[in-house]
Structure 1
């Protein structure tokens, strides 16, 4: 029987549900493989329903927000500028943050850490000699290059400017924790690196890095509570939207104009939105404000509408075309890659006049349908084996550190 290891799974950057679901999914896979798992979440993020149901140990790491970051003065953006904005511009704040992680590592003494968008935890692990696995979508696991490649305005980027800026960050890190004279990429990257998405959606296509292993999207977390199933005749349309980004009444008007069976999930929706869905198309548009497990719905969906995050990758491995409405840079980058491969379409989230026409066009496009099915066949192993790939990567990490 495999020996059980004590693992810490953590994240600290990003306050959106996607980070929490990735960490929860990874923690559950490792717990089911027999490991003793502690999830360490940002302050104010309590254990979710899935974690409570599965008995996951869950802790919150307190910490002060960093002081406002001064402008870098660059038009381009990279992992380095993201770290600067996160708090790496302040040696004082960084010292306190790394110290908090170091105290936690000393108290828990994990055999390894599994980190998702957790750069300060990575520094603490590096200083303490604790092996680390870094995982996330491609944006969160950039090529381990010096300097990091730009993800915005690459035409304004120069290697010399990137290297000089990264030296400033390394100096801040060296003031905050006992690390040697290494590149920024070496300091903030994990010993093993797992991209839990598809190569076709890579944010850094064209910047190959053999340290990045693509494993496919992790199995969807079943939150419990509300469930849904397909009812009426097709097309079957699954939407996950944010009311903070989309004009929900206009979205629902467009949905009512397109015949089909709709399931709309909107965690920040209102009772008025739910009432509109019920009144405009009774039984045909079901509007959910609470978390909903989508894994059982995806394989039969004819179209998935989302903002271009992890759900888009989950849909595509099932051969489901997508229409994405990105609201963040990483979503825009992945959606651009998706449309480049002919797997769906991109929409501005506040362009409701275009919604129904674009949905119809994608549904009727045999090329998009064929491309999505071809991707699903090509990446079948990723669709079915991502959880096992995560467990294997952690086992390899533990063996290498033994």
Structure 2
């Protein structure tokens, strides 16, 4: 049996771990030795099965931000140490040290882990919802298509990143990359759907869809309320949380809200009412079928789970990837979104529109029906087979 590392280098929050956990658990069950190397070592440690997998901190780079509003993946990478060959070489060295006794790497946004694997001659795979895996083109596709994205600026960013990477690879006599997308060529497993892919220009691709998700065990009773049942999954620091909870209460929505670290004042104000706040992870797969509406930040996993359950969405993105997913859902017609820069958002009107506008629920059910035959367990089995085939 093989020693397989699960790597996360860039990004934040639990979604990176929840994406990799089912794959890690399946490989562990088949007798492989697995380990998490995580940017946030304690992320998602409270999910079912997570405690059974050893975890350590991942090698990462810390430094000043070069692009406050990056236009493509190249500009994102410039913010994480890929602006010069020195930091890239240091990252590769650190990852090589972690991988020296390993036979494979499964990554979720860990470009340096892929580079280290290339220099060691071991297989690596990127398990991704697509945001960090652009189609192989020069330059990498723009992400903010509503803003001017001068081609010269995008090319300059990509060439700077590629120059840094290729100089670092030269120290190991590695073959140079010609585009940033080349880093993932033949290595990506796209756990998404064409309707949610933030690169619609990708064209025909091998989409796996999402696998079975890591989740909690809690299944609370729905509180008493005259309005629709609403499942909420938000960060405790979301600036509109108190106003949203008040809007849900005014409309008497029977609400189950998963919000780790929620402010005690907000939680206390709604104690015993129609809005119930939980901090312990819920069994989303059991709660979703009972809901009428889902409110979340447009993380890919939660958004896809809601659509597969046929539930319309109110999406409240807090960062770029979530905003891009929000745009895809809104364009598809299965929900509404409120951009993070909107002041005093009208949650009441959005909730009313979703509750009374049958077209949103209809489009969500259309998505659910389209992928009704998609067996998430089978997708996971296909991934495991591909990984094990690469082990030789």
TM beyond 0.5: yes
1:13 aligns with 2:10: yes
**TM superposition shift of 1:62:** 4.7
Distance in 1 separating the partners of 2:67 and 2:54: 39
Q: CA deviation at 1:401?
A: 5.7
Show the counterpart of 2:177.
Answer: 182
Deviations 1:365-386 (A, max 9, x none): 111111111110101234x32x
Secondary structure class of the residue paired with 1:150: coil
Deviations 1:15-53 (A, max 9, x none): 212222222233223334543322211264367133766
Among 89, 97, 103, the alignment partner of 2:91 is 97
Partner of 2:291: 301
Of 20, 28, 31, 1:31 maps to 28
Question: Does 1:359 find its partner at 2:351?
Answer: yes
Query: In the TM superposition, what are the counterparts of 1:229-268 in structure 2 within 5 Å?
Result: 229-230=221-222, 232=224, 235-268=228-261
Shift of 1:197: 2.4
What SS class does the counterpart of residue 295 from structure 1 fall into? helix
Deviating runs (4+, > 6 A) in structure 1?
none
Q: Would the alpha carbon gap of residues 242 and 397 (structure 1) be closer, same or farther in structure 2, given more than 3 Å must change? A: closer
- 1:56 and 2:53 matched: yes
- What is the rounded CA distance, in whole Å, between the counterparts of 2:344 and 2:27 in structure 1? 42
Please say if 1:373 is aligned against 2:368. no
- The aligned residue for residue 129 of structure 2 is 137
Q: Structure 1 CA distance, aligned partners of 2:26 and 2:352?
A: 38
After TM superposition, the structure 1 stretch with the greater mean CA deviation from structure 2, 145-154 or 226-235, is 226-235
Are the aligned partners of 1:197 and 1:215 in contact in 2 as well (CA < 8 Å)?
Answer: yes
Query: In structure 1, what is the equivalent of residue 200 of structure 2?
Result: 205
Matched, 1:193 2:185: no
SS where residue 228 of structure 1 aligns?
Answer: coil
Stretch deviating more after TM superposition (245-254 or 321-330): 245-254
Q: 2:63 corresponds to which residue?
A: 67
Query: What SS does the aligned partner of 2:283 have?
Result: coil
Match of 2:211 in 1: 218
Distance in structure 1 (CA, Å) of the matches to 2:203 and 2:252 = 43
Task: Provide the secondary structure at the position in 2 that maps to 1:242.
Answer: coil
Equivalence for 2:304:
313
Report the Cα distance in structure 2 between the residues aligned to 1:29 and 1:239, rounded to whole angstroms: 29
- Hey, what's the Cα distance between the residues in 1 that align with 2:40 and 2:352? 43
In structure 1, the gaps of 5 or more residues are none
Instruction: Indicate if the aligned counterparts of 1:135 and 1:141 stay in contact, CA closer than 8 A.
Output: no
Corresponding residue for residue 75 of structure 2: 81
**For the structure 1 residues 372 and 249, does the alpha-carbon distance in structure 2 shift closer, same or farther, using more than 3 Å as the test?**
same
Offset of residue 54 of structure 1: 5.6
Higher helix share: 1
**CA shift for structure 1 position 102:** 0.6
Q: CA RMSD in A?
A: 2.6
Aligned residues: 386
Q: Distance in 2 between matches of 1:47 and 1:367?
A: 35
Alpha-carbon displacement from aligned partner over 1:306-353 (angstroms, at most 9, x marks no partner): 111121111001101001011111111111110111101112456555
